[in-house]
């Protein structure tokens, strides 16, 4: 039963009532080969997976839709540029279900946003990005003129000399990266093994100390900052106060008299208690004798 279901899922199952005279299986079942994607094919619309070519701002909720986000878009031909077709892609944003329409521009080799969104303008410095500034569209059209190329030949050569060190460095970096894949891979794996060992040692050290987190590796900057911090605990403060009191006091204390008086009082109290206990013994014997005679 499972093999039959798999065959039907792959459209390899031919029912008994089918015959080659009835055409293909799609024609026999009355469906298109593209299934749900071709449900609007009679209107000239094909549903495809469209990938956003650049960052845009949604026109409905002003949310940013990043480059590379995919949509189920309705593809439709809306015109021609000479013999090249102009395609229109209609989709709905996932944030607010706002309709976005994008068209191809074969003349400028780019995409145009017709409605529902606006392109995010992203500018960068050519020197910081280490790239080459492309000529403007007007200059591109003038490059076909030989006199224009001759006039700007010296400027172009100067730009080439200035950009040559960057291009050579990039070329060397590309060649060094792909020179020996085995050595690069081996060095990378060795670096990862050393990193894992270091992480395991740091976790072991923190576990011995009693911390639940892994300590960062020691650095000279942290050591110098920690050396400048001085903590004064309560025990140290009490110890210093006691030492100061001892040093300020005299070697021969003047409070010996109260201690002697206290000892004398204790001796007198013990003696009085002994006298009382001795005097109470004959009374106890006398009471016992009286109790015997009464009986």
Among 102, 112, 98, smallest CA distance to 63 is for 98
Q: Provide the mean pLDDT of the chain.
A: 78
| Predicted pLDDT of residue 259 | 57
pLDDT of residue 239: 79
Give the integer Cα–Cα distance in Å for 293 and 295.
Answer: 5
DSSP 60: T
Burial class (CB in 10 A: 0-12, 13-18, 19+), 236: exposed
At residue 193, the pLDDT reads 94
How is 124-151 classified by DSSP, letter by letter?
--HHHHT-PPPPPHHHHHHTT-HHHHHH
Give pLDDT, residue 294.
43
Cα 147-149-151 angle, rounded to 5 deg: 70
Alpha-carbon gap, residue 76 to 46, rounded angstroms? 7
Interatomic CA distance for residues 109 and 121, integer angstroms: 18
Q: Please say whether the beta carbons of 104 and 86 come within 8 A.
A: yes
Which pTM was predicted?
Answer: 0.42
Q: How far apart are CA 4 and CA 6, in angstroms?
A: 5
Per-residue pLDDT of the chain (295 residues; tens, 9 = 90+): 455 555 555 656 788 888 888 888 788 877 777 788 888 888 889 999 999 999 999 988 889 999 999 999 999 999 999 999 999 999 999 888 899 999 999 998 899 999 999 998 877 776 776 666 666 666 666 777 777 777 777 777 777 777 777 777 777 777 766 667 777 788 889 999 999 998 888 888 888 888 778 777 778 888 888 888 776 667 677 777 888 888 877 776 555 555 556 666 777 777 666 555 555 445 544 444 444 444 4
């Amino acid at each position: 039963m499972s093999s039959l279901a798999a065959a039907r899922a792959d459209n390899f199952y031919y029912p008994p009532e089918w015959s080659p005279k009835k055409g293909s299986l799609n024609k026999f079942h009355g469906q298109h080969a593209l299934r749900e994607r071709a449900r609007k094919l009679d209107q000239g619309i094909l549903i495809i997976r469209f990938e956003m070519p650049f960052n845009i701002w949604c026109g409905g909720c002003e949310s940013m839709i990043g480059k590379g986000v995919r949509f189920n878009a309705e593809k439709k031909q809306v015109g021609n540029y000479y013999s090249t077709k102009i395609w229109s892609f209609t989709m709905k944003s996932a944030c607010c279900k706002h309709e976005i329409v994008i068209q191809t521009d074969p003349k400028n080799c780019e995409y145009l946003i017709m409605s529902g969104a606006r392109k995010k303008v992203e500018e960068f410095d050519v020197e910081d990005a280490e790239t080459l500034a492309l000529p403007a569209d007007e200059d591109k059209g003038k490059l076909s003129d030989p006199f224009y190329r001759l006039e700007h030949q010296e400027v172009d050569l100067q730009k080439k000399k200035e950009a040559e060190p960057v291009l050579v460095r990039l070329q060397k970096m590309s060649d060094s990266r792909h020179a020996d894949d085995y050595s690069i891979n081996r060095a990378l794996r060795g670096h990862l093994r050393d990193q894992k060992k270091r992480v395991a040692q740091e976790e072991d050290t923190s576990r011995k100390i009693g911390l639940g987190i892994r300590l960062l590796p020691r650095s000279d900057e942290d050591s110098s900052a920690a050396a400048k911090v001085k903590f004064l605990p309560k025990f140290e403060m009490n110890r210093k106060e006691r030492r100061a009191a001892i040093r300020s006091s005299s070697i021969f204390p003047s409070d010996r008299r109260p201690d002697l008086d206290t000892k004398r009082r204790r001796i007198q109290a013990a003696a009085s208690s002994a006298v009382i206990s001795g005097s109470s013994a004959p009374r106890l014997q006398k009471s016992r004798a009286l109790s015997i005679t009464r009986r």
